């Protein structure tokens, strides 16, 4: 098996705004990612494919979505959706996979693809585990041994490698400076991995047990009935939105059960708590505003989750000025990398 050289794609990660440890984590995953897709025998048709379709008998509403990757094999289309998660990826019996299997997003994307001439045979979720471990202290190892301990200072000094991966001149200079200090001060704190060394260790760990970090969860299909039921539900949502006055705050109720979804505070919390004004300087006009009659999966989730949030976000077109949460940034950078990798596959 030939593994694609992804070095030209790594600047997506190394030049991103991620903190150094997250860059190391993302790089370790990125280096191992091609091994999961090298044997995929489908042809890549498109990545980041923006699709729209007007819903029939629905007062001008349009369904919209961006498909991560579309492939074709033997005349059948396969949708590939990329996901990053912090938990285990190898237990397909857990709730995470059960939810993915019936996720409305996939049903909407099946409809979008079908109506645009790409009938989907199956969806494959491409799930990648986000690393959550940290840089650790490097054990001294036995400097006198012939066979030095892997991942020790002895390995670095004697072999110029860490976990079998070659160190560069900068790493060696950093090590030499530490050893010089240690020679005159034996109370010196143990050497701690730099983000780069941590990334090397993780790259090796992932290569040894890729099943812990990558999962392709496929054979997800949608029946005619499922699509019909989904369309009926989507039409209902569109009719409800059309029937609700977009200028009357009172008819867009709060759902406080959603204020801390996935452990992240809602961006409109301060407004709902009465300490900020939605028209104040903590809020700005959304940079990417969709057409008011466009229904995406995120818009649908927002509507179902909290109507007040939908109102602020989509009727008023507001967003908080703060930067996005680090976990979201990690997922976004990885998504850019996955798209670039499949683009590379598409272009041969
Ligand atoms: S908009 Fe909804 S989810 Fe957000 S803080 Fe207000 S009540 Fe909570």
Point out the ligand 1 atom lying closest to the alpha carbon of residue 258.
3
What pLDDT is recorded for position 148? Answer: 87
Per-residue pLDDT of 34-44, as tens digits, reads: 999 999 999 99
Q: Which residue's C-alpha comes closest to atom 6 of ligand 1?
A: 272
Average pLDDT over residues 65-93: 95
Looking at the fold, whether 176 and 223 belong to one and the same domain comes out as: no
- What would the DSSP string read from start to end of 71-128? EEETTEEEEEEEEEESS-SS-TTSHHHHHHHT-HHHHHHHHHHHHTT--EEEEEEEEE
Query: Cα of 190 to ligand 1 centre, how many Å?
Result: 47
- Is position 103 within any domain? yes
Looking at the fold, whether 219 and 169 belong to one and the same domain comes out as: no
What pLDDT is recorded for position 130? Answer: 95
Q: Which residue's C-alpha comes closest to atom 1 of ligand 1?
A: 309
Looking at the fold, whether 217 and 73 belong to one and the same domain comes out as: yes
Per-residue pLDDT of 136-169, as tens digits, reads: 999 998 776 678 899 999 999 999 999 999 999 9
In our burial notation (b when 16+ CB lie closer than 10 A, e otherwise), range 307-317 reads: bbbbbbbbbbe
Pocket of ligand 1 from Cβ distances under 6 Å? 254-256, 258-259, 266, 268-269, 272, 306, 308-309
264: confidence class by pLDDT, cuts 50, 70, 90: confident
Looking at the fold, whether 143 and 125 belong to one and the same domain comes out as: no
Instruction: Return d(Cα 214, Cα 29) in angstroms, integer.
Output: 9
Query: Cα of 243 to ligand 1 centre, how many Å?
Result: 21
What pLDDT is recorded for position 142? Answer: 78
Report the percentage of the chain scoring pLDDT > 90: 87
pLDDT > 70? residue 2: no
Looking at the fold, whether 27 and 84 belong to one and the same domain comes out as: yes
* 334 within 8 A of 128, measured Cβ to Cβ: yes
- Is position 93 within any domain? yes
* 33 within 8 A of 62, measured Cβ to Cβ: no
What pLDDT is recorded for position 262? Answer: 75
* Most ligand 1 atoms within 8 A of CB, residue of 263, 266, 271 to mutate: 266
230: confidence class by pLDDT, cuts 50, 70, 90: very high
Point out the ligand 1 atom lying closest to the alpha carbon of residue 272.
6
What pLDDT is recorded for position 326? Answer: 62
Looking at the fold, whether 66 and 126 belong to one and the same domain comes out as: yes
Query: Cα of 263 to ligand 1 centre, how many Å?
Result: 14
Looking at the fold, whether 255 and 218 belong to one and the same domain comes out as: no
Looking at the fold, whether 127 and 29 belong to one and the same domain comes out as: yes
Instruction: Return d(Cα 46, Cα 241) in angstroms, integer.
Output: 33
Looking at the fold, whether 250 and 159 belong to one and the same domain comes out as: no
Looking at the fold, whether 282 and 332 belong to one and the same domain comes out as: no
Looking at the fold, whether 41 and 111 belong to one and the same domain comes out as: yes
- Is position 280 within any domain? yes
- Is position 60 within any domain? yes
pLDDT > 60? residue 1: no
Q: Which residue's C-alpha comes closest to atom 3 of ligand 1?
A: 259
Average pLDDT over residues 56-83: 96
- Is position 236 within any domain? no
Instruction: Return d(Cα 131, Cα 284) in angstroms, integer.
Output: 33
- Is position 232 within any domain? no
- Is position 334 within any domain? yes
* Residue 273 domain boundaries: 245-320
- Is position 198 within any domain? no
Point out the ligand 1 atom lying closest to the alpha carbon of residue 307.
2
Point out the ligand 1 atom lying closest to the alpha carbon of residue 312.
1
Point out the ligand 1 atom lying closest to the alpha carbon of residue 309.
1
Average pLDDT over residues 312-337: 86
Looking at the fold, whether 154 and 275 belong to one and the same domain comes out as: no
pTM > 0.75: yes
292: confidence class by pLDDT, cuts 50, 70, 90: confident
Instruction: Return d(Cα 135, Cα 203) in angstroms, integer.
Output: 13
What pLDDT is recorded for position 288? Answer: 73
Domain total for the chain?
Answer: 3
CATH code where residue 85 lies? 3.90.320
Query: Cα of 279 to ligand 1 centre, how many Å?
Result: 16
Instruction: Return d(Cα 314, Cα 317) in angstroms, integer.
Output: 5
């Amino acid at each position: 098996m030939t593994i694609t050289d992804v070095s030209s794609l790594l600047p997506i990660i190394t030049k991103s705004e991620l903190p150094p440890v997250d860059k190391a984590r993302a790089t370790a995953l990125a280096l191992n990612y091609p091994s999961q897709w090298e044997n995929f025998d489908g042809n890549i048709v498109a990545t980041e494919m923006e699709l729209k379709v007007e819903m029939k008998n629905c007062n001008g509403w349009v369904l919209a979505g961006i498909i991560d990757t579309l492939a074709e094999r033997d005349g059948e289309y396969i949708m590939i959706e990329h996901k990053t998660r912090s938990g285990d990826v190898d237990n397909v019996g857990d709730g995470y996979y059960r939810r993915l299997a019936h996720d409305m997003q996939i049903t909407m994307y099946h409809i979008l693809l079908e109506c645009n001439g790409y009938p989907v045979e199956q969806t494959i979720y491409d799930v990648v585990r986000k690393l959550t471990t940290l840089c650790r202290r490097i054990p001294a190892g036995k400097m006198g041994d012939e066979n030095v301990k892997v991942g020790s200072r002895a390995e670095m000094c004697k072999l110029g490698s860490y976990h079998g991966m070659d160190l560069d001149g900068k790493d060696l200079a950093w090590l030499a400076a530490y050893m010089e200090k240690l020679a005159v001060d034996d109370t010196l704190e143990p050497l701690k991995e730099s983000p780069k060394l941590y990334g090397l260790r993780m790259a090796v760990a992932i290569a040894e047990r890729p099943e812990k970090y990558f999962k392709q969860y496929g054979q997800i299909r949608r029946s005619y009935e499922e699509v019909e039921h989904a369309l009926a539900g989507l039409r209902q949502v569109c009719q409800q939105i059309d029937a609700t006055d977009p200028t009357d705050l009172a008819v867009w109720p709060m759902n406080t059960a959603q204020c801390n979804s996935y452990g992240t505070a809602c961006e409109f919390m301060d407004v709902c708590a009465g300490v900020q004004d939605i028209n104040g300087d903590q809020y700005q006009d959304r940079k990417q505003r969709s057409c008011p009659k466009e229904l995406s999966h995120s818009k649908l989730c927002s509507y179902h989750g909290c109507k007040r949030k939908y109102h602020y976000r989509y009727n008023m077109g507001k967003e908080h000025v703060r930067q996005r949460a680090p976990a979201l940034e990690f997922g976004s950078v990885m998504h850019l990398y996955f798209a670039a990798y499949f683009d590379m596959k598409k272009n041969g």
